[in-house]
Amino acid sequence: MPLTTDEAYTELIRRVKAIALLNSCGSVLHWDHQTYMPAKGAAHRAEQLALLAGLCHEQFTAPEIGELLSGAEGGGARHEPRSAVAVNVREIRRAYERATRMPAALVEELARTAALAHDVWVEARRASDFERFCPWLAKLVALKQQEAAAVGGGGARYDALLDEYEPGETVERLIPIFAELRTSLVELVGRIARSQKRPDLSILHRAYPIAAQETFGKTVAAAIGFDFQAGRLDATVHPFCSGIGPGDTRLTTRYNLHDFGDAFFGVLHEAGHGLYDQGLEAEHFGTPMGEAVSLGIHESQSRLWENFVGRCGAFWEYWLPQARQVFPEALTGVGLEAFVFAVNDVRPSLIRVDADEATYNLHILLRFELERALIDGDLAVPDVPAAWADGMERLLGIRPLDDARGCLQDVHWSGGSFGYFPTYTLGNLYAAQFFAKAQAELGDLAEQLRRGEFLPLKAWLNRTIHREGQRYRAAELVAAVTGEPLNPRHLLRHLTEKFGALYGL
């Protein structure tokens, strides 16, 4: 006897949640790979990850999933498009269509190659030797080109990869938005460079004991609402947040004795991601209603807490007195104005993760340009270092002196994450628009931060963004929350006003 619509939906969700549990096992292995796994375990870990990826793909692309989807699509999903049932069916259908176009052998080979390439990248970066990583990057580019060909819908090849991270987004839409940003940011950075005002950066490069950095970072992360009973903080080469599942969200950062900002703002950034993961409804785990909208929306949460909160003067009015107690030798006698100016220094730099708010998006625009050229076949992999250096000089006026500070600095390509980088700039754009709306609805946020009241903002984000799961696509969510479509002028206004005041522009 055929299943009823409700029965088909119930069975579909049961299967999808089981696959999500299997995927979460892979997330633990990925986290362990980049934190505590011994170096010689790389080959074995690659096989583990390939096996899990293959199993998840096999289970999700089984004909029964398609049959259950067809059965579930005949009910309430058709009449209430924003209901949990409708959202789950819609987004599972989207993921199923994409997955069934991916050959199982390609899925396994991508997982295996990415795991092995990551460890080669770590060594190549340490040695600043692109040639060591070059054959692996070439293999990954070829595999991602195969993926784009398999899942693409006839548009730009890069769109097929971008869609994995930012569903519905296209190169055609991004190019004019990014062009407007590029013009305005280059002009703003130029004005800042001509200013006579400069912060005292030595404040941030005194000795900050690593154990104390960890303690202070965890204290601040807890204060903004990250639950350490449902998460943890560890060290890694490249900071990330891994949402394993309900009750298990893992943050990582990296520590430098003589760089306060590296770890602290890394913790604040990843804690922003962690708050999103912890804010998802646990009952919906494994379904679209229990997952983030997109990586751009996820990035908006980390950038909001890192920059709009963590680098503003009001935030440090509350935290600097406590930081002086934790780091007395480094911060005794350091005034609020000098400290806030130091953490908002603007100058062209080589490393993306160290870049300031004003120049950061120029780093992303370069990667967006190079990724598209690689995937379209317009840039040969051996030519990447030179193209990278030329792009840095064109956009930021500086050239990397070696591969480690050039094209080897980011982990993304070693994991096959092509199409990921644009979500960083989208995250900055979304963050500015969300923060402006929060300010309008919550009142004087600066005064709240000055008093150490961070939870009203967290609760607003939980309510308007996190708990919505994938009810909306990113562009729809922005409009639903803020009352207008994505508008880059919110970010440009924020940057112009902030740095205009700091640099006397």
- Give 372-410 pLDDT, tens digit per residue: 999 999 999 999 999 999 999 999 999 999 999 999 999
What integer pLDDT is reported at residue 88 of this predicted model? 96
What integer pLDDT is reported at residue 50 of this predicted model? 85
Q: Rounded mean pLDDT of 131-160?
A: 92
SS3 241: strand
Amino acid at 39: A
Q: What is the pTM of this model?
A: 0.91
What integer pLDDT is reported at residue 10 of this predicted model? 95
Residue among 491, 499, 184 nearest 345 (CA): 499
Exposed e or buried b per residue across 93-126, where buried means at least 16 C-beta atoms within 10 angstroms of its C-beta: bbbbebbbebeeeebbbbbbbbbbbbbbbbebbe
| 415: exposed, middle or buried (Cβ count in 10 Å: 0-12, 13-18, 19+) | buried
For residue 171, the surrounding DSSP H or E stretch is helix 171-193
Residue among 148, 175, 157, 222 nearest 372 (CA): 157
Residue among 316, 250, 309, 297 nearest 458 (CA): 309
SS3 45: helix
State the pairing for strand pair 241-245/248-253.
antiparallel
Distance separating alpha carbons of residues 30 and 115, to the nearest angstrom: 9
270 catalytic? Reply is: yes
CA 7 to chain centre: 37
Which residue is associated with the tokens 């190019």? 175
Calculate what percentage of the chain has a pLDDT beyond 90: 88
Catalytic pick from 108, 166, 270, 371?
Answer: 270
Radius of gyration of the chain (CA): 23
Which residue is associated with the tokens 């190079």? 370
pLDDT tens sequence across 198-228: 999 999 999 999 999 999 999 999 999 999 9
Distance separating alpha carbons of residues 337 and 328, to the nearest angstrom: 18
| Dihedral of alpha carbons 301, 302, 308, 314, sign | positive
Residue among 351, 246, 346 nearest 290 (CA): 246
Asked if residue 182 lies in contact with residue 191, where contact means CB atoms within 8 angstroms, the answer is no
- Bridge partners (DSSP) of residue 253 are 235
What integer pLDDT is reported at residue 42 of this predicted model? 87
pLDDT tens sequence across 413-460: 999 999 999 999 999 999 999 999 999 999 999 999 999 999 999 999
Asked if residue 279 lies in contact with residue 467, where contact means CB atoms within 8 angstroms, the answer is yes
